């Protein structure tokens, strides 16, 4: 019985596979915010046709609206209108609120040191050595709440978390737009 001969991969095929793996690694590094959401299963999301923003928003200061609140409102309004809801001034079906937080975090990573160099110099040890790397970063969290004012109950919340860099802190609008788009992509959909 003859077994079919295995064809070796040719050089262009190997290059193609390597290029695809590199793209996957780069795509993983360039990921956007982490998004999660929770919905009240008893809520009838198809009945919600209008929305307004809570006054004052949780991101406002005492007596005035912040610039970040204005950015949040513009991005959320764009997404809610795209979902088929309409902004109204009185008697909305949903009230939208935001909360935002910046946390300073530490990332600690330990990696084993190679024992090769130590053995060559004559240092023999039964205990492995580790290199510890500590990095500080800023974690930003945005929470969007949708409240049913008739029931006085939270019916949906979307959360976005992402690292904040110096460049994103200087101009937060693109990151806010991306976060709102991805948050509202998880909003229980409307078909009309």
- Range list of H helices, the chain: 11-29, 67-82, 116-120, 166-170, 173-184
- Using the structure block, give the residue that is written with the tokens 């800023």: 138
Q: Centre a 10 Å sphere on the Cβ of residue 92 and count the other Cβ atoms it contains.
A: 22
Residues 6+ positions from 112 with CB-CB distance below 8 Å: 128, 129, 130, 131
Q: What is the pTM of this model?
A: 0.68
**155 near 40, Cβ under 8 Å?**
yes
What radius of gyration, in Å, describes the C-alpha atoms of the chain? 25
Q: Which helix (H) or strand (E) holds 8?
A: none
What confidence tier does 14 reach under pLDDT thresholds 50, 70, 90? Answer: very low
Token pair recorded at residue 176 = 């806010």
Q: What is the DSSP letter of 128?
A: -
**137 near 102, Cβ under 8 Å?**
no
Q: What does the pLDDT look like over 140-177, one tens digit per residue?
A: 889 999 999 999 999 999 999 988 777 666 777 888 99
Q: What does the pLDDT look like over 41-52, one tens digit per residue?
A: 999 999 999 999
Q: Which helix (H) or strand (E) holds 83?
A: none
């Amino acid at each position: 019985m003859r077994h079919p001969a295995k064809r070796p991969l040719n050089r262009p095929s190997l290059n193609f596979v390597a290029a695809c793996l590199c793209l996957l690694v780069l795509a993983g590094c360039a990921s956007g915010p982490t998004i999660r959401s929770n919905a009240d299963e008893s809520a009838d999301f198809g009945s919600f046709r209008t929305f307004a923003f809570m006054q004052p928003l949780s991101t406002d200061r005492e007596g005035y609206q912040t610039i970040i609140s204005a950015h949040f409102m513009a991005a959320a309004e764009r997404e809610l209108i795209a979902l088929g809801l309409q902004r109204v001034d009185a008697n909305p079906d949903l009230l939208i609120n935001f909360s935002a937080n910046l946390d300073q975090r530490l990332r600690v990573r330990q990696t084993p040191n190679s024992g090769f160099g130590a053995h060559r110099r004559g240092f023999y040890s039964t205990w492995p050595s580790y290199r510890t790397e500590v990095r500080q970063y800023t974690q930003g969290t945005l929470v969007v709440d949708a409240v049913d004012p008739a029931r006085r109950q939270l019916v949906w919340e979307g959360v976005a978390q992402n690292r904040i860099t110096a460049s994103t802190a200087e101009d937060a609008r693109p990151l806010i737009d991306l976060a709102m788009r991805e948050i509202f992509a998880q909003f229980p959909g409307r078909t009309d």
